[in-house]
Amino acid sequence: MRPLRVVGLHEDGKSIVCEDPARRERFLLPADERLRAAARGDITRLGQIEIESESQMRPREIQARIRAGESVQQVAASAGVAEARVERFAYPVLLERSRTAELAQSAHPVREDGPDVRTLGEVVSYAFGVRGQDYSKAEWDAWKGDGKWIVALRWQAGRSDMSAHWSFSPGAHGGTANALDEQAEDLLDPNRAPRTLFAVTELEPGQQTAAPAVAAPRPLLSDPVPVVTTKAEREPEPEREPEPEPVPPAKPALPGMTVPAPKPPETPPKSRSKRARAAVPAWEDVLLGVRSQRG
């Protein structure tokens, strides 16, 4: 590398004239922002100017995208530059996101009756313990979207990647956190009944899914049990008439033997419907004192 010396300012006032002392060759060096930053020794400004020259994405835009939740790899791929150059501007924003996620764990989750006494980190840790999952392997993150901080928790359950999201509002006593999806609501109330899951089958084009059959709820012990009666149980069965006793067959008569005639069936005595009434004496018998022979 050959050294050059500064001769002076060019006629246009925008370039500097440099000369090679050995060969007496002169060169023009534009007096731009990069030269001024190099003369001041501002390395950060030089890197920023290099990114601006290689891509149309400015450092402020890079930080805005990192703050909105994108990673360094995503921004570098979008800008078409190396990840190391994006990290220079993303590092302070990543610290801000990490700090916000840490503060959100001290916030109080909002329920129907108001903020919970426990913090979000305590409630989520208890939910993981109830489910038998390792809370230490879960990862917290935060980003800013639409002027509000969004806090996310990611973990792995079996082979599934799970995530829950809350909106975080910083404030006194740690601030508040509101659930944004069902996973977040489940973590806030792990003892509630699980949702019904249905199997997903692959359908052909134009085929419609049938409505899932809803199972009837099981009756509680406190609910009255309905008694189902049939028509036969509701209507009394008519009494059956007694069957006549079978008559034994007559034995064949032997020679020289007389067979008595069969007796007629005995008729049961008629039951008196009324009790016998006592004889009442006549009036003249009462006056004369004579017992009447009537009746």
Q: What is the DSSP string of 235-289?
A: SPPPPPPPPPPPPPPPPPPPTT-PPPPPPPPPPPPPPPSSPPPPPPPPHHHHHHT
**What is the distance, to the nearest Å, from the Cα of residue 258 to the centroid of all Cα atoms in its chain?**
101
pLDDT of residue 104: 95
- What is the residue-level pLDDT of the chain in tens, covering all 295 positions? 778 888 888 877 778 888 888 888 888 878 777 777 787 887 777 777 666 665 567 888 899 999 999 999 999 888 777 888 889 889 999 999 999 999 999 999 998 888 899 999 999 999 999 988 999 999 999 999 888 999 999 999 888 899 999 999 998 889 999 999 999 999 998 766 545 444 445 545 445 444 444 444 444 444 454 544 555 555 555 666 666 666 555 555 555 555 555 565 566 555 555 555 556 666 666 666 655 555 4
Instruction: Please give the helix or strand (H or E) that residue 234 lies within, else none.
Output: helix 231-234
d(CA 31, CA 45): 15
pLDDT of residue 65: 93
Helix (H, G, I), strand (E, B) or coil at 10: coil
The reply to whether the predicted model has a pTM over 0.85 is no
pLDDT of residue 212: 46
Tokens of 133: 């999952």
pLDDT of residue 285: 65
Instruction: Please give the helix or strand (H or E) that residue 93 lies within, else none.
Output: helix 83-104
Q: How far apart are the first and last CA of the chain?
A: 168
Beta carbons within 8 Å of 3's beta carbon, 6+ residues apart: 20, 21
The shares of helix, strand and coil residues in the chain, as percent rounded to the nearest 5, are 30, 20, 50
Q: Judge residue 218's burial from the number of C-beta atoms within 10 Å of its C-beta, 0-12 exposed, 13-18 middle, 19 or more buried.
A: exposed
